[in-house]
Structure 1
Amino acid sequence: MIGIVGIVVIFVMVFGGYLAAGGKMGIIMKSLPFEITMIGGAAVGAFLISNDFAAVKHTVKDIGKVFKGPKWKPEDYRDLLCLLFELIRIARQNPVAVEEHVENPSESSVFGKYPKIQADKEAVELICDTMRSASMNYDDPHQVEEVLEKRMETNMHHAMHSSHALQTVADGLPALGIVAAVLGVIKTMASIDQPPEILGKLIGGALVGTFLGVFLAYGLVGPFAAKVKTVTEEDGHFYQLIREVLVANLHNHATNICIEVGRQNTPAQFRPSFTELEEALKGLKQDAA
């Protein structure tokens, strides 16, 4: 919602200020279809050249993050801590019993309590792969920690591609605006014998290209890229929490301590309170009794 509000504010302030200063929309509206075709078309073409089909799909999908915000909400972080608590407790009590949950999470009664997490392939694989590693009795838990860190760096690098692709388009739009403006000037020079009022409109139309390139770059596409980056980084904290809890488990800390490590490492805006989490875990303990 706030993304839509931001777009409305941009258009109202820019064009409202222009009209309030006595500007005329006629010349802009007349030139806009041609300028947007040249600038927008060239930007889309350059985007397609510099990305493969998978990256294009990924970027188009990620644009929705500007309006939807982070995928993971505060209640999802609480549910994740509860899920990890159950898995660690089962593994501590009976290492064999946890295998049915880790080997077939889609049919697991534990994962089934948290359908949103269960539906996220990366979260499930991260949990299950790390739980399997714990069963291998690594001599040094830091080995698993290093593997997890590299895996998450790779995943984050891939997830950030949409932001980088949009920022590249934003960086190129002012130059594409100049290209459109130069073409407008060329058109104007071909009509140099016309009276000043005609030349003025032609020059104004050419300058719309420069305006449009800068406006799209810094008013829309650049902020879109920044928002996608921010949301991607925020969603990355969800997977970092998995890493923190399971690494604590590899170091053989008490189950409650492992979960508290995760809670403390959750960003403040998503972090469940100690009391809230304690109540949720108490309910799990009662169900297991």
Structure 2
Amino acid sequence: MNTIIGMLLVIGSVVGGFILSHGHLATLLQPYELMIIGGSALGAFLISNPLSLIMKVFKGLPSLLGGSKYNKNAYLELLGLMYSLFVKARKEGLMAIESDIEEPEQSELFSKYPKVLKDHHALEYIVDYMRLIVSGGMNPFELDNLMSLELETHHRESEQPASALNRVADALPGFGIVAAVLGVVITMGSLDQPPQVIGEHVAAALVGTFLGILLAYGFVAPLSIAMEHRARDEAGYLEVIKSCILAQVQGYSPQIAVEFGRKTMVSSLRPSFQEFEEYLKEQR
């Protein structure tokens, strides 16, 4: 929602200010200038990035129109799942959760927490390391190193789409200048025309520069920053999983293990101790 409101505010402020300053809106409608800038930027984007990264960018852009899925309810479900897993493992033994982590989609325990079940990365992260714990053979220090290594790799990969989009934002003012230069070339070829025609060509050239700058700093750069925030939201979610699992491996009780995870959360999303207790009571 913030993305949509922000875009409308950018458009409304720029266009509204232009019209109130006695500008003619039709002057800004230069589809060929937009084609030069947008097409060139898209072409450069395709040249500079592998197909897999291009698909991630286009797949991630629509998700920015809504809010982040990593809200307080999502964190409550995550803590509830980790607590349930740890309690079952403590009461019935580690082998009791083997069927749950081997087929989480068929697990009655996991089915109580649909938000986690729908999150592919988080689900895979949980079941992979719980599977290692069940199989044994790794001490907490080794497990910590392995989990951190995977998180670092995941963080680098998840931030690549934002970085690729940010490079497009850096290039857009340059493509705006290209459009303006081409407009000047057209103007120079029309010097035998009436002043009104020449003025229209000059205006179109200047609009090219305007569009390049506006698209860069009003839309594409903010979208890249928003995409970066989404990547960090996911990273924080995975960090909570890591904290819970490591605490459990070190022998803490389920309640204390999930408390390690709760303390890892940012304050704006962290449920209070009482909220989590109430959530657990509702799940029973």
* Aligned-pair CA distance for 1:91: 1.7
Alignment match, 2:267: 268
Distance in structure 2 (CA, Å) of the matches to 1:34 and 1:139: 62
Distance in structure 2 (CA, Å) of the matches to 1:180 and 1:144: 55
Instruction: Give the one of 32, 39, 42 matched to 2:40.
Output: 42
Alignment match, 1:10: 10
* Aligned-pair CA distance for 1:105: 1.2
Alignment match, 2:276: 277
Distance in structure 1 (CA, Å) of the matches to 2:245 and 2:282: 22
* Aligned-pair CA distance for 1:65: 3.0
Give SS of 1:64's match.
helix
* Aligned-pair CA distance for 1:68: 1.0
* Aligned-pair CA distance for 1:104: 1.6
Gaps of 5+ in 2: none
Q: State the superposition RMSD in angstroms.
A: 1.6
Alignment match, 1:76: 74
Partner deviation per Cα, 1:23-59 (whole Å, 9 max, x = no partner): 2223222xx1100111111111111122233222211
Contact 1:39/1:173 (CA < 8 Å) preserved in 2? yes
Contact 1:88/1:249 (CA < 8 Å) preserved in 2? yes
User: Equivalences for 1:111-260 in 2 at 5 Å?
Assistant: 111-138=110-137, 140-260=139-259
Task: Give the letter for the 2:85 counterpart.
Answer: L
Distance in structure 2 (CA, Å) of the matches to 1:38 and 1:189: 19
* Aligned-pair CA distance for 1:135: 2.9
Structure 1 residues 6-15 or 43-52, which shifts more? 43-52
Alignment match, 1:89: 87
Residues 14 and 279 from structure 1, CA distance in 2 versus in 1: closer, same or farther, beyond 3 angstroms?
A: same
Q: Give the percent of matched residue pairs that are identical in Structure 1 and Structure 2.
A: 36
* Aligned-pair CA distance for 1:129: 1.5
TM-score, length basis structure 2 = 0.94
TM-score, length basis structure 1 = 0.93
Gaps of 5+ in 1: none
Alignment match, 1:59: 57
Residues 248 and 191 from structure 1, CA distance in 2 versus in 1: closer, same or farther, beyond 3 angstroms?
A: same
Alignment match, 1:25: 25
Distance in structure 2 (CA, Å) of the matches to 1:124 and 1:2: 28
1:106 aligns with 2:105: yes
Off by >4 Å, runs of 4+ in structure 1: none
Give SS of 1:191's match.
coil
How many pairs align?
283
